[in-house]
Amino acid sequence: MTVCILGAGAFGTALAVALSDRHDVRLWGRDGAALAEVAQSRKSPRLPNVTLAENITVTDDANTALQGAEFILCAIPLQATAEALSDLAPLFAGQPLIGCSKGMDLTTGLGGYSVLRSVYKTGPSGVLTGPSFAVDIAKGLPTALTLAAEAQENVSAWQAALSTETLRLYTSGDPIGAELGGALKNVMAIACGATIGAGLGQSARAALITRGQAEITRFAVKLGAQPETLAGLAGFGDLCLTCTSEKSRNYQFGLALGQGQVFDKAITVEGRATALALLPIMERLEIDMPIAKAVAGLCAGTITVAQAMAALMARPLRKEI
């Protein structure tokens, strides 16, 4: 079987490494010069300690990448996904298209799965998400993810094809819940990073994780998600990982905010865009999300970490729900 992976960043490359144990893989990206160097050296600057197997073809030619592929996995950063897929979709041949990017599109407010569906309207599609770091997947460390799609009979076949000895996939019929869990956890990771960076303590972080989970569930269910999805790998599992590890770029960004440091603008921080995309939606739907609102203010530069924490602590006392 041949699998095409769109997006040669860290996560796309890690998936290529993991799936090359079972399948031939074509790894596609736009930067031809950089990819030519990767193809020759069998090393990616995104995962410098990992060697690419010979059955991984690295290319910037979309025809080469897509021809004959039985699955397409899209690991393009979410803010660039819609444009890239619009260009590539005419080359698709009805294969399953599975989104692997997390976040919400700043222009449309759509999550990863919904962006795919807005472009790829005729073919089958799903979302692969859950607690995972690219470096762990590439090293062959055991990882469990959620593979979600509306057609359960399809997703079971996809599960069998794409699971490996170290990558265990669980199925779900709730792609909306899966995409929103993966998107919104990045917002909470920024809040947790800022809390630790500002020296506010691990107890405060634990409170943010817990109340952040409540906000994520509240929002996702309002948009049609199943609450049990948000309690699983795509929700709480991913939230725990991202909010507690400095491997997370969103957590790193929050740390920098809390410490008053400048963060490298070249590093993709999907939680920043997601928080800003989320704000008008939660206000329009009247969904109470004080943590997400505070993170949006931090990302926009309209409040400080101290002001955000003071506002959260000053909220009216209430029953925990």
Helix (H, G, I), strand (E, B) or coil at 13: helix
Q: Would you give the DSSP letter of residue 3?
A: E
Please name the residue that has the structure tokens 């692969």: 128
Closest CA to 155 of 173, 167, 178: 173
Cα–Cα distance, 207 to 291 (Å, whole number): 11
The catalytic residues are 185
DSSP codes joined into one string, 125-168: EEEEESS--HHHHHTT--EEEEEE-S-HHHHHHHHHHH--SSEE
Q: Which residues contact 229 (CB under 8 A, 6 or more apart)?
A: 146, 148, 172, 174, 177, 178, 181, 220, 235
Sign of CA dihedral 77, 195, 180, 292: negative
- On the 0-12 / 13-18 / 19+ scale of CB atoms within 10 A, 291 is buried
Q: Which residues contact 266 (CB under 8 A, 6 or more apart)?
A: none
Q: Would you give the DSSP letter of residue 315?
A: S
Please name the residue that has the structure tokens 């939680």: 271
Alpha helices in the chain (DSSP H): 10-19, 32-41, 62-66, 78-88, 112-119, 134-138, 152-162, 175-197, 202-222, 227-230, 238-242, 249-259, 270-284, 290-300, 305-313
